[in-house]
Chain A
């Protein structure tokens, strides 16, 4: 600063477009950065590069069709997205699905959470420059996607849920495979911890970076592991237990630091909890129908329905206003990524470009989820 004044030099803020094609925006997010040298002065997200107007499409689709659209929002948690719409429809019709469906839904949802967090872990390492983690994350995720493929034929956009139950019954090998995966991954997760969590450079890069206080987390509506790392208790699975979550024991992971490392740890711990949940359920899948008897044409009674579920990124809300027809009058998705992204500017101001990348990867953005 002193030298600047003496020499009469002026530094100027400049703008840089990070994205829509950029390795660390994980999709087509465009951030307009205002920079002073390396220091981020302002982050302005420009959205909509993958906006498909799913909400408008839903107004013309039947409820069965809407479920398929939700796959394309948060593609790393397609099953949980499906579940949100299915639960909303089932609640509106006052259908209680049987325990078998609930249990299977929960197991698959937790597997999905695991696979999403595995991918996040890999990508997080890559964003910080440790490319190797990317392939490790994908390697273990492969086992889960194989289970999904065997169960319902799809690996990413699963469509396994439908209003009133599931598309198919589980594969006879399902339990065996899931147990094999758990056995494998329990050995691998401590290895992950050794590779990244205890690395000096990694700690330097994440501890104290991108702080988000609890008040701000609540005010910005930051949910999921990102919010819980700031001490904001918001786990829908605990607060409004749906499916089989009221039958299992698990901890809600809470950290108070609110920095990148806390968000990182929250997700790592969540993986342990997910495995714990699956372990409790996998041996006790009750017998029963995999799909309740439903009418072919689903018509929701007039009214408003709101259903929350916990996706790997936070709280997904489905708000349906029905006029009694075959399709909703208005359907709003409260997507977790959208609200989480709104806090990015607040978190990243004053930090370096490299910190911005770290912050973005700990928010765990999925762009189609934000744009819808």
Chain B
């Protein structure tokens, strides 16, 4: 049996060998790339559909209403209808907009999301590229998205967009630090930047539990700073609907708008994925102690469900934040980062280094 839901190594090797047998090595690589590309596109499309539907339903539950109910059973195909609507909409542009940059911006945002998605391990063996600096790669790539936002805001030739873009720049530059430092404090424990290594170190327990209080602090900071980096509520200042109408994507319509919209959800998925990898053991099941019946029951659930389960749990948490909290002001946002999170984070790393040095973690 080639297909094993607990271990995808067999499946990928089978595909690789099958292709190598009939094709030259170069062509094999091309076909594999195409397959991966198609897989990622499908994943993104599905994620878009699911996450947008989820956001609507979660917000509806929080706001004590029904959410979409008309299109399909429980409004499940509402997102499909929305995508169709966005596809058919006229792509408008302001008269003096910089046409090239205006059109380029959504693609940059989208590309950054796609690139980062490539480094996520979805299950054992289901990992597109296991770089030895995987975590660094993800943090580097995800912050590229802001270039798209800045470009989009600037090229729109709209002051609301420009304010939104500048806000976004300030916000991401600030919060990138906290995200990276929070990641670093786990890297101190793992001693590796390679994602598969980081996951393997959590075989006997997740870092959230093993790393004592510093890991918990790092997790909270990671979540706060991560949400800020996503430009999601309560840190959605670049969009700030009630202040800047729609912030950096005020002038975008049709599918270019959809790209920004989709990228936000994909980034949310990536952030939750990184959080799951670092703190919640990636695709590893929940284990307590060694070799007891609880662990065996947990092992029975396939890793891919574990990974997606953790990601969706984190995403739900983010949605809960967004639909509950008011928005911060720009100076408060920067104050929170530079005056509170960053010093706390630095101290936390010191503490973590001390704990790692003493070997006080499990």
Direct contact of A and B (CB under 8 A): yes
Contact yes or no, A24 B243, CB < 8 A: yes
- By DSSP majority rule, is chain A's interface helix, strand, loop, or mixed? helix
Interface size class of B (residues with CB under 8 A): 20 to 34
Q: Is there a chain A Cβ closer than 8 Å to B90's Cβ?
A: no
A4 at the interface (CB under 8 A from B): no
A129/B327 in contact, CB under 8 A: yes
Q: In the bound complex, do residue B328 and residue A205 qualify as a contact, i.e. CB atoms below 8 Å apart? A: yes
CB neighbours of B70 from chain A (8 A): none
Which of chain B's residues have a CB closer than 8 A to the CB of A154? Answer: none
Contact B326 A201 (CB under 8 A): yes
CB contacts (< 8 Å) of B327 on chain A: these are: 128-130, 201, 205, 354
Quick one: which of B59, B242, B244, B330 contacts A128, CB cutoff 8 A?
A: B242
> Is the C-beta of B339 less than 8 angstroms from some C-beta in chain A?
no
Q: Provide the bound-state CA to CA distance between A22 and B241, in Å.
A: 9
Is B331 located at the chain interface by the 8 A CB criterion? yes
Residue in A24, A125, A139, A205 whose beta carbon sits within 8 Å of that of B329 in the complex: A205
Measured CB to CB, the closest approach of chain B to A203, in angstroms, equals: 10
Q: Which residues does chain A contribute within 8 Å of B329, judged by CB atoms?
A: 204-205, 352, 354-355
Alpha-carbon gap, A202 to B234, bound state (A): 11
Given known contacts A135-B64, A204-B332, A353-B163, is B241 in contact with A199 (CB within 8 Å)?
Answer: no
User: How far apart are the CA atoms of A202 and B160 in the complex, in Å?
Assistant: 23
Tell me if B323 is interfacial: C-beta within 8 Å of chain A.
Answer: yes
Whether B326 lies near A357 (C-beta < 8 A) is: no
Residues of A within 8 A of B236 (CB): 129
- Give the contacting residue for B234; candidates A129, A136, A196; CB below 8 A: A129
A325 beta carbon closer than 8 Å to chain B = no
The distance in angstroms between the C-alpha atoms of A201 and B236, with both chains bound, is 13
CA distance A120 to B167 in the complex (A): 28
Task: Indicate if B63 sits at the interface (CB-CB under 8 A).
Answer: yes
A2 at the binding interface (Cβ < 8 Å) = no
Q: Is the CB of A136 within 8 A of B63?
A: yes
**B347 sits at the interface (CB 8 A):** no
Q: For window 213-239 of chain B, which residues contact chain A by CB distance below 8 Å?
A: 233-234, 236-237
Does B62 interact with chain A (Cβ within 8 Å)? yes
Q: How far is the CB of A31 from chain B (nearest CB, A)?
A: 12
Find A353's partner among B65, B241, B243 (CB 8 Å cutoff). B243
- Whether A16 sits at the interface, judged by CB under 8 Å, is yes
Closest chain A residue to B167 by CB distance?
A38
Q: Which residues of B contact A202 (CB under 8 A)?
A: 326
Majority secondary structure, B binding face: loop
Q: Is B245 an interface residue (CB 8 A)?
A: yes
Which range contains the number of A residues in contact with the other chain?
Answer: 20 to 34
Q: Does B159 contact A (CB under 8 A)?
A: yes
Q: Whole-angstrom distance from the CB of A328 to the nearest CB of chain B?
A: 40
For A355, the chain B residues whose CB sits under 8 A away are 329
Nearest Cβ distance between residue B159 and chain A, in whole angstroms? Answer: 5
A180 at the interface (CB under 8 A from B): no
Cβ distance B235 to chain A, nearest Cβ, rounded Å = 9
Contact call A357/B324, Cβ cutoff below 8 A:
no
Q: How far is the CB of B169 from chain A (nearest CB, A)?
A: 13
Contacting residues of chain A (99-150) with chain B, CB-CB under 8 angstroms: 125-132, 135-136, 139
Question: Which of B63, B64, B240, B328 is A201 in contact with, Cβ under 8 Å?
Answer: B328
**Does A14 reach chain B (CB closer than 8 Å)?**
yes
Give A128's nearest chain B residue, CB to CB.
B326
Determine which of B167, B242, B324, B330 lies in contact with A126 in the assembled complex, contact meaning CB atoms within 8 Å: B242
Q: Are B326 and A130 in contact (CB under 8 A)?
A: yes
Q: Of the candidates A22, A23, A38, which one forms a contact with B163 in the assembled complex, judged by CB atoms under 8 Å apart?
A: A38
Question: Would you call B242 and A24 a contact (CB within 8 A)?
Answer: yes
A19 to B: closest C-beta gap in Å:
10
A365 smallest CB distance to B (angstroms): 14
Interface 1/0 per residue, A199-213 and B, CB below 8 Å: 101101100000000
Q: Which residues of A contact B59 (CB under 8 A)?
A: 131-132
Q: Take A135-B64, A354-B243, A357-B242 as given contacts and tell me if A129 and B163 are in contact as well, using a CB distance cutoff of 8 Å.
A: no
- B332 CB contacts on chain A under 8 angstroms: 201, 204-205
B300 within 8 A of A: no
Shortest Cβ distance from residue A155 to the other chain B in the assembled complex, whole angstroms = 19
CB 8 Å contact bits of A23-62 with B (1 = contact, 0 = none): 1100000000000001000000000000000000000000
The answer to whether B325 has its CB under 8 Å from any CB of chain A is: yes
User: What's the nearest-Cβ distance from chain A to residue B2, in Å?
Assistant: 48
A126 / chain B contacts, CB cutoff of 8 Å: 242
- Which residues of chain B have C-beta atoms less than 8 A from A196's C-beta? 326
CB within 8 Å of B: which of A198-228? 199, 201-202, 204-205
Given A38-B163, A127-B242: A135 and B326 interface contact (C-beta under 8 Å): no
Instruction: Indicate the member of B243, B244, B324, B326 with the most A CB atoms within 10 Å.
Output: B326
Q: How far is the CB of A36 from chain B (nearest CB, A)?
A: 12
Question: What are 22 pairs between A and B in contact, CB < 8 Å?
Answer: A14-B159, A128-B326, A128-B327, A129-B234, A129-B236, A129-B325, A129-B327, A130-B324, A131-B63, A132-B62, A136-B64, A196-B326, A201-B325, A201-B327, A205-B326, A205-B328, A352-B329, A352-B331, A353-B244, A354-B327, A355-B329, A357-B243
Closest 9 CB pairs of A and B: A129-B327, A128-B326, A130-B326, A135-B63, A24-B242, A354-B329, A127-B242, A129-B326, A16-B159
Further 17 A-B residue pairs, CB within 8 A, beyond A131-B59, A201-B234, A204-B329:
A16-B160, A127-B242, A128-B326, A128-B327, A129-B241, A131-B63, A196-B326, A201-B328, A204-B328, A205-B329, A352-B329, A352-B330, A352-B331, A353-B243, A354-B327, A354-B329, A357-B243
